[in-house]
Structure 1
């Protein structure tokens, strides 16, 4: 089973316009409102390809009611922890002409001490040895990186495989807690580690304790790193960039990563090159197919043909 954990969920509101002009008034077809947040998007992707998954998140207030109502109709198995604060909203305006999305993310409200305990109790209750537990997205205000680190350690102690997709100090804390895999994008990695080179940043997270790092590089694809001292890296990209709504691209990568870890708990071992190459191909294809869809959490039917087009390269040399 794969358990996705969304500490700071949102009601995702998406509108598509023919061309978005800052400062102008726009007419748009009816938008969409979906239960979102990065962990929910990961769960939607996995559920769509028939991978057993359970999404754990919080919800509160009138926005939380709308969030929960949509989630119930989605078919994604879920466990929601009620909270007092209003669930935040995320607003995306997609420019049909350019394929670019402009996003406004509200800041999540703090959880009370009791709510944090209930949230962590639910994670412990529904995850067990052998499960893959995915922590995705930002942390709510007041939920410290240290607390995330303790939560990761507790799931590892129970025999779970832990994947983390977050930024800032939370990314560093996850590496220090020995997360099995981290999935930052280029900007998150540079901000957290101080390294402008993604490979240097990824290797610094491995040195802190992470076992595998996947770095999303946008149109340049992605890189998989398993060693702090050797350049045994796997790079994957498509021959040509895919244009569209990129808001769910990273979540699709995490979904592919979670599926790969659930199928092969030894994914980070040096000899598992073929398994990591397969992951690189699938994650790149799923990311691109997510870009082709109007909302996050969905994959285009083109994902199979895109996987066949992925270009993979490797390096085998000592890192200086």
Structure 2
């Protein structure tokens, strides 16, 4: 029986977040706090979707030796656990939060090195979860030991079963995936879009043009996250810009994953593009400064969504190109 939403995380992590008053390279620090959270892009997306009330299953690969945080998260939020446990430990990602600077330094440690047999087992598990109308989220990096073209291989397999595939990755896995059968939706940030385009994209009109190229190449929905500049949402019928709300004093860790969850929640509810753009942006803004893969209460997210300004992308792009009056 198919599941409405399935997330895949091939390279999950336990996020160890260390909060410092200020980060000074070469100095000894006394941490203001530390916390550990089950993480990884697909896990974070599933967690935010569960907070919103969307039925979701999570699949992927976990180290059997330290799977307890993930098992506890899935049980607490009612997420259907279809992760394959393999020998070893899931990696740890260290996040150093600098309160003074307001930024985060990430140190991603090496993790599992699963082989092709593990990926084949995950694919078989997905076959039992995905059906006509399922939204399948492929998110995060591909671990050492697996073909970096794993997503490129999975996209046509899942699409053939009637799934709409949402892709959020980077580097070689993204390049390989976008060189084959296209996913239904992709969410690059500016840098990832620049890598695909092969050049810097400093002009708004250029950003919009490259997003439209991806759409013309077969991606049904292109969502480009632009940080403080908001986000673009492009289909073959419409292109919109969602403005970013001004938020101060919060870490942006996990905001991109929350935006993917908002996109998926919008697709699940068959929202028109404008409402989907507001929801995806609201999920990202609501996550700012919140530790762990969690959303605030629904009314808070809905209030943020109502305040998001959504305008035609053409006007947004043209406004930046208009010379200032002398």
* In structure 2, C-alpha distance between the alignment counterparts of 1:295 and 1:23, rounded to whole Å: 28
* In structure 2, C-alpha distance between the alignment counterparts of 1:166 and 1:81, rounded to whole Å: 21
Kept in 1: contact 2:20–2:33 (CA 8 A): no
Shift of 1:196: 2.2
How many pairs are equivalent? 306
1:106 maps onto 2:109 in alignment:
yes
**The residue matched to 2:11 in structure 1 has which SS?**
coil
Shift of 1:234: 0.6
Could you say if the C-alpha distance between residues 223 and 316 of structure 1 is closer, same or farther in structure 2, counting changes exceeding 3 Å?
A: closer
Name the structure 2 match of 1:310. 308
TM-score (norm 1): 0.87
Name the structure 1 match of 2:273. 276
Deviates more, 1:217-226 or 1:164-173: 164-173
1:234 maps onto 2:240 in alignment:
yes
Deviations 1:233-254 (A, max 9, x none): 2111135244411111011110
* In structure 1, C-alpha distance between the alignment counterparts of 2:99 and 2:312, rounded to whole Å: 36
Name the structure 2 match of 1:270. none
Deviates more, 1:36-45 or 1:99-108: 99-108
Name the structure 1 match of 2:292. 295
Residue 185 of structure 1, aligned match among 186, 189, 201:
189
**The residue matched to 2:149 in structure 1 has which SS?**
helix
Name the structure 2 match of 1:201. 210
1:91 maps onto 2:88 in alignment:
no
* In structure 1, C-alpha distance between the alignment counterparts of 2:269 and 2:303, rounded to whole Å: 22
* In structure 1, C-alpha distance between the alignment counterparts of 2:248 and 2:283, rounded to whole Å: 12
Kept in 1: contact 2:245–2:285 (CA 8 A): no
1:123 maps onto 2:126 in alignment:
yes
* In structure 1, C-alpha distance between the alignment counterparts of 2:280 and 2:165, rounded to whole Å: 18
Kept in 1: contact 2:258–2:284 (CA 8 A): yes
Could you say if the C-alpha distance between residues 239 and 89 of structure 1 is closer, same or farther in structure 2, counting changes exceeding 3 Å?
A: closer
Name the structure 1 match of 2:255. 249
Shift of 1:208: 3.1
* In structure 2, C-alpha distance between the alignment counterparts of 1:297 and 1:187, rounded to whole Å: 26
Shift of 1:61: 4.7
Shift of 1:62: 2.9
Long gaps (5+) in structure 2: 202-206, 319-326
Name the structure 2 match of 1:272. none
TM-score (norm 2): 0.85
Name the structure 1 match of 2:30. 27
Residue 220 of structure 2, aligned match among 199, 211, 214:
211
* In structure 1, C-alpha distance between the alignment counterparts of 2:73 and 2:55, rounded to whole Å: 20
Alpha-carbon RMSD across the aligned residues, in angstroms, is 2.4
Long gaps (5+) in structure 1: 268-274
Could you say if the C-alpha distance between residues 177 and 85 of structure 1 is closer, same or farther in structure 2, counting changes exceeding 3 Å?
A: farther
Could you say if the C-alpha distance between residues 170 and 206 of structure 1 is closer, same or farther in structure 2, counting changes exceeding 3 Å?
A: farther
Shift of 1:292: 2.8
* In structure 1, C-alpha distance between the alignment counterparts of 2:61 and 2:71, rounded to whole Å: 9
